[in-house]
Structure 1
Amino acid sequence: MRIDLHAHSTVSDGTESPAHVMRAAAAAGLDVVALTDHDSTAGWAEAAQEARALGLTLVPGMEVSCRTDTGISVHVLSYLHDPSHPGLLAEVERSRDARLTRAERMVEKLSADYPISWSHVLEHVAEGATIGRPHIADTLVALKVVATRSEAFGSMLSARSRYWVGHYAPHPADAVALVREAGGVPVFAHPVASSRGRIVDSDVTAEMIDAGLLGLEIDHRDNPEEGRAELRRIAARNNLLVTGSSDYHGTGKPNRLGENLTQPEVFERLEELATRSSVIR
């Protein structure tokens, strides 16, 4: 069984619709795939319909955008939670609103030096999508300001750029607690992905574990090998699930579906731990 537990669609910062992601997963030989758009479950219904037609097992999920007290970005994957849970829903909506305001302010700053406007950005946003920096990056590519998303993120959209604007996001331990309250399974996404920016220390990870963290996404292209070994030790000491996944974004990133996989026994345990929702077969 081939299981990939991290993929994005146009509902957040992927380049393919939820249905297209399901078709891509089937074409990649996957048996199980999770749709984990940023701060949104809006793609679940479309993905479920296509997954059933393809005979593919769908794990409904979400990637919750978080931030520590020191400003470090952290992502928490939530699997099989209740999408209508009021506490979790209110928090991700607050975060989505903040991301929208941040994006508007960054575009305003960029427009002083580049031929970009908010209307240009909206051309690259699917209906109902969580708007963020990837959409600004895609706009800059379309305007030929940069060649790729990666170039945009490495320059004018980075936290070191003078165009940078911060935004609200919950503390990762609070997000973990809310996911558990919603009956979901929280997993720390790419915990040691230092190429993305600063990573948290062991104290933050311990806070997340104390709050109810149930897994670590270890087999991910952005986790360096030396970091994976320490993550496996942490997982063993704390009886955490060890997952692997692609973090697929369509053409938005080089990540390919199925490049890292989750073991079937881990997936079975993830299903057992969820209390409000179930996989779609």
Structure 2
Amino acid sequence: MKIDLHAHSNVSDGTEPPAGVIASASAAGLDAVALTDHDSTLGWDEASVAAREYGLAFVPGMEISCRTREGISVHLLSYLHDPAHPGLLDEITKAKDARLTRAKRMVTLLAEDYPLTWDDVIHHVAPGATVGRPHIADALVAAGAVADRSEAFAAILTSHSRYFVQHYAPDPAIAVELVRAAGGVAVFAHPVASARGRVVGERTYREMIDAGLQGLEVDHRDNPEEGRAFLRRLAAEHGLFMTGSSDYHGTGKPNLLGENLTSPEVLALIEELGTGSKVVR
């Protein structure tokens, strides 16, 4: 089986609708795929219908944006949680609202130097989607300021830019607790992706594990090989399972569906552990 447990639709910052992600997964020869949009489960129903049509197993998921006390960004993947769980739903709603306020402030700052308006950004956001920097990047591309999203993030939207604005995000250990309370399975996404920015130290791993972390996303293009070796040792030491994923965003990133895979045994374990929702077949 070919299993990819990390993909995004235009419900967050991917470029394809949920059904389009499923169609692309089928074209890539996958047998199972997870939809893990940022702080949102709005794509689950559409993806479920498409998965049945294409004969794929669909794993309902979500990627939660977190931040440590030191200000380091952490992404937590949640699989098979209850999307209506009050505690988790309240937290991601708070984060989504903060993202919207942050995006508006960034556009105001950018408009001082670039031909950019809020309407330009909204044009690239699907109805109900979580507004984020990728949508601002798409508007900058459309305005001719940069060639693509990658250049926008490298040159203008980096966290070191004067246009960057922080937004609320939960502590990663609290997010793990909420995922577990919602019947979900908690996996640390691309933990050692140092090219994205600062990565966490031992204390954060310990706090997340103590809170109930169950897995580590090890095989991911942004995890360097020496970092993957560290993650394998950590997984063995603490009894965590390991996943491999593409982090697919359609044309928004070069990541290709199926470029990293998760074993059938791990998917079976996730199914066993998750109680808030079910894999769609």
TM range (shorter): over 0.9
Runs of 4+ in 1 over 6 A off after TM superposition: none
Q: Tell me the equivalent position of 2:93.
A: 93
The one-letter code matched in structure 2 to 1:140 is L
Long gaps (5+) in structure 2: none
The one-letter code matched in structure 2 to 1:62 is M
Q: Tell me the equivalent position of 2:144.
A: 144
Counterpart CA distance in 2 for 1:272 and 1:117 is 47
Counterpart CA distance in 2 for 1:224 and 1:135 is 27
Q: Deviations over 1:131-158 (max 9, x none)?
A: 0000000100111101111111112211
Whether 2:210 is the aligned partner of 1:210: answer yes
State how 1:166-205 maps to structure 2 within 5 Å: 166-205=166-205
Counterpart CA distance in 2 for 1:276 and 1:161 is 40
Secondary structure, counterpart of 1:276 in structure 2 = coil
Secondary structure, counterpart of 1:246 in structure 2 = coil
Aligned residues: 281
Counterpart CA distance in 1 for 2:6 and 2:120 is 29
What is the Cα deviation at residue 45 of structure 1? 0.3
Counterpart CA distance in 1 for 2:265 and 2:43 is 27
Counterpart CA distance in 2 for 1:275 and 1:114 is 48
Secondary structure, counterpart of 1:66 in structure 2 = strand
Q: Deviations over 1:101-133 (max 9, x none)?
A: 000000000001100000000000000000000
Q: Tell me the equivalent position of 1:42.
A: 42
The one-letter code matched in structure 2 to 1:165 is V
State how 1:1-281 maps to structure 2 within 5 Å: 1-281=1-281
Long gaps (5+) in structure 1: none
The one-letter code matched in structure 1 to 2:104 is E
Moved more, 152-161 or 136-145: 152-161
The one-letter code matched in structure 2 to 1:264 is P
Counterpart CA distance in 2 for 1:119 and 1:206 is 43
TM-score using structure 1 length? 0.99
The one-letter code matched in structure 1 to 2:247 is D
Counterpart CA distance in 2 for 1:187 and 1:230 is 16
Counterpart CA distance in 2 for 1:56 and 1:164 is 39
The one-letter code matched in structure 2 to 1:68 is T
What is the Cα deviation at residue 210 of structure 1? 0.3
The one-letter code matched in structure 2 to 1:30 is L
Counterpart CA distance in 1 for 2:276 and 2:89 is 15
The one-letter code matched in structure 1 to 2:107 is V
The alignment's C-alpha RMSD in Å is 0.5
The one-letter code matched in structure 1 to 2:125 is V
Counterpart CA distance in 2 for 1:195 and 1:142 is 26
What is the Cα deviation at residue 227 of structure 1? 0.3
What is the Cα deviation at residue 92 of structure 1? 0.2
TM-score using structure 2 length? 0.99
Counterpart CA distance in 2 for 1:207 and 1:152 is 34
Secondary structure, counterpart of 1:113 in structure 2 = coil
